[in-house]
Structure 1
Amino acid sequence: MSARTERQVIARLQTGIPNLDAILHGGLPKGVMTVLAGPPGSGKTILAQQICFHHIAQGGRVLYFNTLSEPTAKTLLYLRPFAFFDPAKLDDGIRFIDLGTMLRNQGLELTSNLLMDHLKQFKPSMVVIDSFKVFDDLSHSNEELRKFTYELAVRLMAWECTSFLLGEYSPELFEHPAYSAIDGIMVAKQQEISGEQQRLLKVVKMRGTSHSREDHPFVITDAGVEVYAPSITLRREAGMLRGQGATPRMRTGISRLDDLLGEGIPLGSSIIASGVAGSGKTILGLEFLYRGAREHGERGLYFSFEETEERLRATARGLGWELDRELERGTVQLVFIPQTDILVDRDILEMQRRVAAFGARRVVVDSMSVFLHRIEDKRIVRDKVFWLANIMQNHQAVGFFSNDVPAGTSQLTRFGVEETVMDGILHLSWEKEGLDRHRYLEVLKLRNTAHARGRHSVTIGAGGFCIYPRIEEAPPPEPRVPLAPRRARVSFGVPGLDALLDGGLLEGSVSLVSGSPGTGKSTLGLHFALEAARRGERALYLALDEEPTQLLQAAEALELPLREAMEAGQVDVLYLPREHLHAARALPIVENRIRELGPSRVVLDSASDIEVRGLVSEELRQLLHALVLRLRTLGVTSLFTLEARSLYVTDALSERGLSPLADNIFMFRYAREEGLLVPMLTVVKTRGSGHDRGSHRFTLGKGGLRLGGGSGNRASSSGVGPKPRRRPAPKRGRRK
């Protein structure tokens, strides 16, 4: 070993105070003389006594000099409640000596001689003088005190003793005449921080070591003194996991959330779930743990500062989750820390300890804004958030940190600094729309991940979170079958109607039926679905206007076998009531049912019920466009009905800009003939097929919809005037 290396090695003593050795970068240098300064009640005596008993447990011997005339019996009385106190070590391991009487009667010189006599007899490796400030009061001058301290330091060094001089010195003033002979100064104090009284420990000076110079909170419990220094202990762990190559990722298991998060959340990430009260942050965090335990076998820790364990259990039961079972299995732990008991640095280290001991892969802190609510300095908030994130990184866990934001503001987080430290932000909103409120989720940030953009609709109910990805962000399904170059024809199931279309609809096409109220749009949809059942296929009927019971009654009045087809499982009616329907949620609901059923035909009755404020919104157009793309990809032939604004036949189609979505457009209107309203059908458009361009009367009755009836089959397209004018026979439409 080189001489340079030898000079760097300093023997150290472990203090036995949690985290104090880390603050001292390895422990207390052996043989140093250290002042423990602080006002009465700051904890310096307990600190010194705990170090002494730990030193004895390591094989050392301690002389503890008391200068305040406190009987040894009283000192021991106060020591007994502490876990570190061992009465078996008295006399042989530690001796308490009272110097008070000698000091008052004989002065410094004779007291110094008495102290040396005890050192020669007991041969200690550690000495404590409590309180050394008494020597200040009894010395006649600063020079005398300086001389006494210097001689004491020399003699203790000769005996290779590590010593502590306790005193009620001011933490702000260190111009003591004896301090030139002192190797180290540690200060204990009490201070109000953000409305809370805290004990703090600071190492001001320590020769032979590069120590932390920060104020570190500490507490005194039955176990003794515990110092909290996350900025030291967590930083030392941070380097352990560097350089491991590509980072694996985590799937949350929450409905469609993984679709929004791209490849998944990189392990070691910290995610903020921010939002106003009631937006679902607690449920999102709880489901994150539950899905991880139940579906992936990953252990999860939930730190709650607001909800008790029983309330969290009750929430899970109300959502239909078997969280109690996961708690019994030991895959999930709920830790409740009342808001009034929060001590930030202590709790950060407690989180780190629990994450490490439990082997947690998923961690939820609910909420971070409550946890840090007493801290007013944003710089300190940033530091604490950094150490919380560091815990996740150190243990390759994923952390969800709920964060309350004030209602009515544009803030993304409570303090305004968290988003720069954390790896991701999930923003939850809870907005009023008309007479109702709707929830949304937006992925604002996720480092190193290509995530979905924009807001996505959310509902919370049985099963937990249900997310409806924004239309342009939802990936299309894989094609079920490739489309043949020449597609087959699909029958409507209405006598005479197929003939107007050169034999029927093209397979996989989309038809839009724009109709006046009562003209038979729904009946046409029933024919279309029942024709699939007659051919041994399946159909899905999406009812947005009529409940299944009403639909069955209407079908039975027309003698259409809808009930039989439903009982046979050939026609499935999915009712989506308009009061509960949100445009952004319709597509995932429909798509899931299509995947489950595998229909060849789909009827949507009616698309008008997805509209917002009575107009065709851009959201509706996007929804129908996305649905059309999915249906075409799957080779499904579909029919959409749409309520028309016009009652009578006019020059305007009134399909409100939706024609580009449809391959075929049918117009159902009334014409006035001799004081009567006569329903008329016109094939306005067919893509890739010829069609009859005339307007045709039809009737509704037993058996459903039938072309013809009244005074003839053809009618005026205008429908205006007392008598219809006859026209020449229409030309056949050219193929597009």
Structure 2
Amino acid sequence: MKQASTAPPQGCPKALTGITGLNEMTDGGLPMGRTTLLAGGPGSGKTILALQFLAHGARDCGEPGIFVAFEETSQRIVANAGGFGWDLPSLLEKKVLYFLDAQPAPDLVLAGNFDLSGMLAALEGQAGAMRSKRIVIDALDIVLALLPDAMAKRREIYRLHDWLLRHRMTAIITAKTGEGAESVMPQSFGFMQFMVDCSIVLNHSVVQGVSQRNLRVQKYRGSAFDENESPFLISKRGFEVAVARTLGHVDANVTNERVSSGIERLDTMLGGGYYRGASVLITGFPGTAKTTLSGAFAEAACRRGEPTMFVSFDSDGSEVVRNLSSVGIALDAYIQSGCLSMISARTITGSAETYLVRIKMLAQEHGARCLVIDPVSTLSKSGNELTAHSVAERLIDWSKAQGITLVCTSLLDEMSNQSEGGSPLQISTLADTWIHLNYLVQAGERNRGMSIIKSRGTAHSNQVRELILSDTGVTLADTYSAGGEVLMGTLRWEKESAERVSAELAEAAAQLKQVQLDAEEAELEVRLKSVQTELVAKQVEKALLIRAIESREREAARGRSRMAELRGADLNMAAE
């Protein structure tokens, strides 16, 4: 039998899968007009992926498809897919989707030669009538198991592959692998991995009681692809692959707009609040008011009229609302108006990927502009340690891409020695703003302290402030230090009280000294006035004395002159 060329067409055109993340991993989709092998163990999601690929092609790409079912009947497949929202019955009614039931009878006894020629002839007629572009051969291993030897199996695989290439249909062939971590394909069937142009392996395992699913593109001829394993999830929308951010990814739009944290003094410390679309991490030990700070942010967002979602992993939503009301944070009205969506996830179990998909789906349905996750460290619970960091990274990337302001709390172990310990997820380096809450033990009591570890793109306070909770609200106390140590609580109150008493005593002493100085000044002024009076008297006496002396001297001078005159007269008389 002449084999058709297996070289991919020039430029390797792609067929979109309609599966979130898979198009990114394969750089655009599956090879168009070529065959893809989809291998995985029982329950790994092979049929769902293949059926979603067909439904997307028929509904959104104008490419009718055929599903060949060797394991389950078409009625069961359509019924099982009813919860994904693909509306397969309407596609069947429009004749853009066709199911071929090819399940071997349970009591089938093989006699004589057996091949796929009859089925392929029937498919050729159906494909021509529909002008189908896509086809899925589901559970081919079921029919191959009926063949007597490896040579017969290989012959039929070649026959099928040649038929697919001649008709240039974009095909998916699903096949089972062994159970367990190895997931090895049976040797008699594994050689097909070398024949096809694209090979994808699905794995499903349970780690510490938590279901973990991942996908890996094993090969892709003529195209770049992501070689690493990527987690995936089967959600109510179908198959979703979580792809990590890669080089060349378009950055999210950034803005200088600020949004309030809900605490006025914290906004001042941050230079005006959080950036719009930023990721904020609040870390702290149990009871340090992480939920309170998150609630204050949610209330401020609702006051601005922004749809907000609050996801609580620690408590029921009603308990969170009640507890926050005790510190003046009222959320009831916003829940009733629909502006705030409280999600109680305390009893939800599953993988970190499950949490991420549900959070994204609920946030999109609510149209959230602000999102609170309390605490995000829940993602790292037992069984999720290996994937939690990647999930947290993708959560932050997704929120930035959507322009959602994300506030996450992270619970620290109170018994640890961490003073400013980062998040157990190690996402503190990814967060734009990191606020740390802790206890300061002084004078036999605990007081809450708050500091800003970092806040990218803005100047921020480096002070440790006391966080004060009361029935009137949440605020931050002014920094108070004594002897180089920051004081809080009653120790601060006692120190302030002592300083007030000392200041009052100093003021009284100063007033007494002022009175004494005033008296001494008055006494000196009296003495000075007396001396001045005495001085004036002396000056008057001196002046009078001088005048008297001068008067006597004048009189004496006049007397001498008169005497001289008189004597002169005597001389004149003697001459006559």
The equivalent of 2:117 in structure 1 is 113
Q: Is the 8 A contact 2:40 2:203 kept in 1?
A: yes
Distance change >3 Å, CA 365–CA 252, structure 1 → 2: same
Match of 1:122 in 2: 126
Correspondence 1:407 to 2:267: no
Cα offset for 1:258? Answer: 1.6
Higher Rg: 2
Match of 1:52 in 2: 54
Structure 1 residue 468 displacement after superposition: 0.8
Structure 1 residues 39-94: Cα deviation after superposition (integer angstroms, max 9, x where no partner): 223222233233333433354444433445x5555555655666435335559431
SS of 2:424's equivalent? coil
Contact persistence 1:300–1:361 (CA under 8 A): yes
* Separation in 2, partners of 1:12, 1:103: 40
SS at match of 1:211: coil
AA aligned opposite 2:320: L
**1:580, 1:366 → 2: CA distance?**
27
Residue type at the aligned position of 1:667: A
Q: Is the 8 A contact 2:34 2:164 kept in 1?
A: no
Structure 2 residue 325 is the aligned partner of structure 1 residue 317? yes
Partner of 2:567: none
In structure 2, C-alpha distance between the alignment counterparts of 1:62 and 1:106, rounded to whole Å: 33
**C-alpha separation in 1, matches of 2:250 and 2:527:** 83
Report what 2:207 is aligned to: 193
Structure 1 unaligned residues grouped into runs of 5+: 1-5, 473-578, 587-606, 612-619, 621-639, 645-654, 656-663, 669-680, 695-713, 715-728, 732-736
Task: Give, as a single letter, the amino acid of the residue that structure 2 aligns with 1:117.
Answer: A
2:40 to 9, 26, 38: 38
What's the offset of the Cα at 1:254? 0.5
Are 2:104 and 2:143, in contact at CA under 8 Å, matched by a contact in 1? no
- Cα distance in 2 for residues equivalent to 1:424 and 1:342: 29
Please report how far the alpha carbon of residue 229 of structure 1 lies from its aligned counterpart in structure 2 after TM superposition.
Answer: 0.9
Q: Show the counterpart of 1:15.
A: 17
CA contact (8 A) 1:256 1:469 kept: no
**Structure 1 residues 266 and 285, CA gap change in structure 2 (3 angstroms):** same
Structure 2 counterpart SS, 1:422: coil
Residue aligning to 1:610: 497
Q: Is the 8 A contact 1:230 1:345 kept in 2?
A: no
What SS does structure 2 have at the residue aligned with 1:417? coil
Q: Residues 8 and 194 of structure 1: is their aligned pair in 2 closer, same or farther, counting only changes over 3 Å?
A: farther
- Superimposed CA distance per residue, residues 403-438 of structure 1 (whole angstroms, 9 cap, x where no aligned partner): 111114332234272222222221112343334331
Change (3 A) 1:131 1:390: closer
Q: CA deviation at 1:144?
A: 4.5
Kindly state the Cα deviation for residue 148 of structure 1 after the two structures are TM-superposed.
3.2
- Whole-Å separation in 2 of the counterparts to 1:206 and 1:104: 39
Q: Deviations over 1:492-516 (max 9, x none)?
A: xxxxxxxxxxxxxxxxxxxxxxxxx
The size of the alignment, in residue pairs, is 495
1:100 is paired with a residue whose SS is coil
1:212-223 matched pairs, under 5 angstroms? 212-220=226-234, 223=236
Cα pair distance change 1:327/1:403, threshold 3 Å: same
Distance 2:453 2:309 in 1: 25
The correspondence for 1:203, drawn from 195, 217, 220, is 217
* 1:307 aligned to which of 286, 311, 315: 315
> TM-score, length-normalised on structure 2?
0.74
Tell me: CA distance 1:145–1:439, structure 2 relative to 1, closer, same or farther (3 Å): same
Aligned counterpart in structure 1 of residue 292 of structure 2, from 283, 301, 312: 283
Residue type at the aligned position of 1:118: A
Shift in alpha-carbon separation, 1:439–1:38, aligned structure 2, 3 A: same
Closer, same or farther in 2 for the Cα pair 1:165/1:331, shift >3 Å?
Answer: same
Contact 2:40 2:46 in 1 (8 A): yes
* Ranges in structure 2 where 5+ consecutive residues have no aligned partner: 1-7, 482-487, 529-576
Distance in 2, matches of 1:65 and 1:187, equals 20
Indicate how the Cα distance of structure 1 residues 343 and 148 shifts in structure 2: closer, same or farther if over 3 A, else same. Answer: same
RMSD of Structure 2 on Structure 1 (CA): 3.9
Contact (CA 8 Å) 1:125, 1:161: kept in 2 or not? yes
The yes-or-no answer on 1:336 pairing with 2:196 is no
* 2:274 alignment partner, one of 262, 265, 269: 265
Structure 2 partner of 1:165: 173
Residue among 229, 236, 247 paired with 2:242: 229
CA–CA distance in 2 between the matches of 1:693 and 1:390? 78
Deviation at 1:272, TM superposition (A): 1.5
Contact 1:268 1:396 in 2 (8 A): yes
Kindly indicate which of the two structures has a greater share of residues assigned to helix: 2
In the TM superposition, residue 450 of structure 1 has moved relative to its aligned partner by 1.9
Q: 1:152, CA displacement in angstroms?
A: 2.1
Aligned counterpart in structure 2 of residue 691 of structure 1, from 517, 530, 534: 517
Q: Distance in 2 between matches of 1:66 and 1:113?
A: 16
Task: Determine if the alignment matches structure 1 residue 468 to structure 2 residue 477.
Answer: yes
Letter in structure 2 aligned against 1:405: L
Q: Does 1:132 align with 2:140?
A: yes
Q: Residue type matched to 1:180 in 2?
A: F
SS at 2:295's partner residue?
helix
Helix, strand or coil: the match of 1:268?
coil
Distance 1:61 1:391 in 2: 33
How far apart in 1 are the matches of 2:301 and 2:33?
53
| In structure 2, C-alpha distance between the alignment counterparts of 1:75 and 1:261, rounded to whole Å | 56
Corresponding residue for residue 558 of structure 2: none
**SS, match of residue 224 in structure 2:** coil
Closer, same or farther: CA 383–49 of 1 in aligned 2, 3 Å: closer
User: 1:183 and 2:197 equivalent?
Assistant: yes
Decide which of 287, 293, 308 is 2:302's aligned counterpart.
293
* Structure 2 residue corresponding to 1:100, chosen from 90, 99, 104: 104
Q: Deviations over 1:357-388 (max 9, x none)?
A: 6554432110011233235647x444333223
Q: How does 1:532-551 map to 2 (within 5 A)?
A: none
Runs of 4+ in 1 over 6 A off after TM superposition: none
Percent identity over the alignment?
21
Cα distance change of structure 1 residues 375 and 260 upon mapping to structure 2, 3 Å threshold: farther
Deviation at 1:98, TM superposition (A): 1.8
What does residue 642 of structure 1 align with?
Answer: 502
Query: Equivalent of 2:252, from 241, 250, 254?
Result: 241
1:455 deviates by 1.4
**2:30–2:36 Cα contact (<8 Å) kept:** no
Is the 1:56–1:94 contact (alpha carbons within 8 Å) kept by the matching residues of 2? no
The Cα offsets for residues 262-313 of structure 1, whole Å up to 9 and x where unpaired, read as 243333322221111111110110011102322x444432122122221222
| Cα distance, 1:77–1:409 mapped onto 2, change above 3 Å | closer
Pairing partner for 1:254 from 263, 288, 296:
263
Change (3 A) 1:313 1:113: same
Specify which of 157, 165, 172 is matched with residue 149 of structure 1.
157
